[in-house]
Amino acid sequence: LRERVRAGEITFGAFASVASPTATELMGRSGLDWIILDLEHSTLTETDVLAGIYALQTTPATALVRVEEATRLRIGRALDFGAEGLMLPRLETLDEVRAAMSWIRFPPEGIRGLALSTRGAGKGEVAHADVHRLNESILGVFQVESPVAVANASGIAAIDGVDVLFVGPADLSHSMGIPGEVTNPAFIEALETVSAACRDHGKAAGILLYDATAFGPHL
Which positions are annotated as active-site residues?
41
> How far from 12 is each of 89, 114, 173, 212, CA to CA, in Å?
19, 31, 22, 11
Neighbours of 215 (CB within 10 A): 20
Mutual angle of helices 46-56 and 72-81, in 10-degree steps: 40
Q: How far apart are CA 210 and CA 35, in angstroms?
A: 17
Element housing 165 (H / E):
strand 164-167
For 36: left if phi > 0, alpha if psi spans -120 to 50, otherwise beta; the answer is: beta
Going 180 to 213 to 85 to 35, the CA torsion angle's sign is positive
Q: Which of 112, 182, 173 is nearest to 140 (CA)?
A: 112
Cα 120 vs. chain centroid, distance in angstroms?
16
